Structure 1
Amino acid sequence: SQVVVGTTRWVAEDSTGDTVGLAQDIGSVPLLATQLSFTQSRYPQLQAYEQGYVKEGVGAGGCAIAAHLYKGWNSAELLQAIENLVEQYRLSLR
């Protein structure tokens, strides 16, 4: 069976985790990294990912890849969906 590791670019680019190096050490494990970006987000909490303040590793990469494969979503559409969820959560706290 074929195994593919899907992650975010934040995880792939994090030198402290060395995800790319680990994948190379294991052998021929394909590593996919989504180009999801929160640079243009209206929420400073999401922009913190771009500044390196947030350690991601809870499935965002897999979800982003699945959304692209299943619905054809691009990064802008994915950001909009994530921001909608953040807004719903924010409103639920009132």
Structure 2
Amino acid sequence: MNPRIPIAVLTLFMLPSLFAQEEVIVSGPPVVQEPVTDPDEPLTIADEMPSFPGGSEALFKYMGKHVTYPEEAIENEVQGTVYVSFVV
């Protein structure tokens, strides 16, 4: 087989890819895209993590003093778990 034939076929397959690339020239000032943050979305990383004044012991003391169990729930022996979340 003539060695020129495979080279010619390979060249024919590669030739269209040379012209497939198109150079795009953008004029004007560069576009700077600022990160978009939702002001209502809480941040997950803080410089200083929040804590209750006085630490965990003071938090438990405060909660024990200010959380009340409904009288009706005590009478009907209603029990359950309360899940609380908040954003600082």
Determine which structure has the larger helix proportion and give its number: 1
Determine which structure has the larger strand proportion and give its number: 1
Q: Which has the larger radius of gyration?
A: 2
- TM-score, normalised to structure 1, is 0.20
- TM-score, normalised to structure 2, is 0.21
